[in-house]
Chain A
Amino acid sequence: MFRNLFKPRVHESVAIASVFAASVALHVAWITNLLVHRSETVWNWFLLDPDLGPISGMYTKTLITFFVVLIVSWLIWRGRDCSHSRNRVFWFFIASIVMFLVMTLPFVYEFQLG
């Protein structure tokens, strides 16, 4: 009976926040990987489990980043018009995938002069 009175609502803020969170998480992942290979101190920061090495900390940090950014950006976009941000977030997402794929190539992150 009430179906015709209400329009199904889409929580676009959650969708846009998830795309943004995935983009940020990918950027954090490649930057972390680069730092882990460059600095002994950072390597030790990510050593949650000595048997596993820094990969344990890197996976944990990527997942935590995704959920934290998802919640924070959802709170920021909640109740606002997201239509202006759609394209910008989408291209940021594409850029983050490209950056991740390029920067995680072994000969790129292990490159050093001299």
Chain B
Amino acid sequence: MGGLAIYFEEEGLATTQISLIRIHTERTQPPRALWVPYELGRPIGVPNDPAFQKRVMMAAFDLLDAPEGPLIVDYPEEIPDGAGEMDEDAMTGMVCPIDLPKPPNATAPASAIGKALLQEVASLAPWYELAVNRRGRTTVGPSGMTIDACGKALAAFLDGGAAPEARDGIPAQRVLKLAYEDLKAYYGEAITAQPGYSTSKQVEDWLFNETVLGKALWTLRDLCLEHEDEYFRYLGTNSIVPDRQIHPPD
């Protein structure tokens, strides 16, 4: 990020930036940076809190008045407890949380996981639709496949290693990645429509430890790590299960 700022300034454009990883900004030394104490993925702080977001942005814009740099300023406002939780109005009309199908046990064949996955995807549909209606948008879609097709693509790979077909210059491995990322987005949007899932860690712990999709992704990771193809091994190493699930902090 800091490197981009330097390129833009060299082109005659003034820059100010948000910093998430302070040591990277310290090493690059862009002209103006506001370090924020927020988790990766949420550089402006709190979703659906315009006032909070504007305060962060104003602090970044204020750096444009500094007489000289480079400078890194620490932004002091922490995420308030309970931020992002829905209020009672937003929950009006909600039904009780649904029971998801029980994930197959540890010794279940991959084919059983695939079948249960499709059932689970269907059972989450009401919550997903509620989320889309409330937010007026969805982030599901980069795969270009329906969510059922995403589930079937993942299930098919687990069942016998058949990767989805490459398309539009996108290799099969990347198509598979886009499919399971769409599934993760579908689950994330659905579960955050329910009360009690306001933090990313809550959602992640649920997805990777309590759902069939989580079981499928752990299984996919194992398959990819042992795959003969380098791209699949790369996916298994870096790009299926988050590092904090593989190596939980002490």
Q: Do chains A and B stick together as partners?
A: no
Binding site for B on A (CB under 8 A): none
